[in-house]
Structure 1
Amino acid sequence: MDFRRVKEYIAWIYYQYQIISCCSVLEPWEQSMVNTILLTIFAMVVYTAYVFIPVHIRLAWQFFSKICGLHNTISN
């Protein structure tokens, strides 16, 4: 894969992000504030999904395995 094409593609994606989020009309300090807030929110969502989704899947598996009469194959 050509490094130049990857660089152009990333620049195009960032341009699309700026157009969609209206960051292109903001001043540089405002852009950095909006980007920081959005990055923080995204990081919190990813962390929460990483921590809590496996727990919920395990609990749902235990619940439905008891309803269906399956043996619990997940050790506690």
Structure 2
Amino acid sequence: MGFRQVKEYLAWLYFQYQIISCCEVMEPWEQSMFNTIFLTIVAMVVYTAYVFIPIHIRLAWEFFSRIFGCHNAVAS
């Protein structure tokens, strides 16, 4: 893929985002507010997933290791 194709694809994705989220019909200040709130929510979800999912996976692994009698459980 060339640089031009990537640029066109990203422009197409942004256009799809605007259509789906109805940003196309908003005023510029409304678009910036909506995008700011949306990006803040996405950042918080990504951060929360990064911090808490590994902890839950480790706890689930320890729980099921004890249930099924595996002796390779992570020591607490």
Same topology, TM > 0.5: yes
1:24 corresponds to: 24
Deviations 1:3-55 (A, max 9, x none): 00000000000000000000000001100000000000000000000000000
Number of corresponding residues? 76
With normalisation by structure 2, the TM-score equals 0.95
Runs of at least 4 residues off by over 2 Å:
72-76
Stretches of structure 2 lacking an aligned partner (at least 5 in a row) = none
Stretches of structure 1 lacking an aligned partner (at least 5 in a row) = none
With normalisation by structure 1, the TM-score equals 0.95
Task: Give me the whole-angstrom Cα distance separating, in 2, the residues matched to 1:32 and 1:16.
Answer: 17
How many percent identity over aligned positions? 75
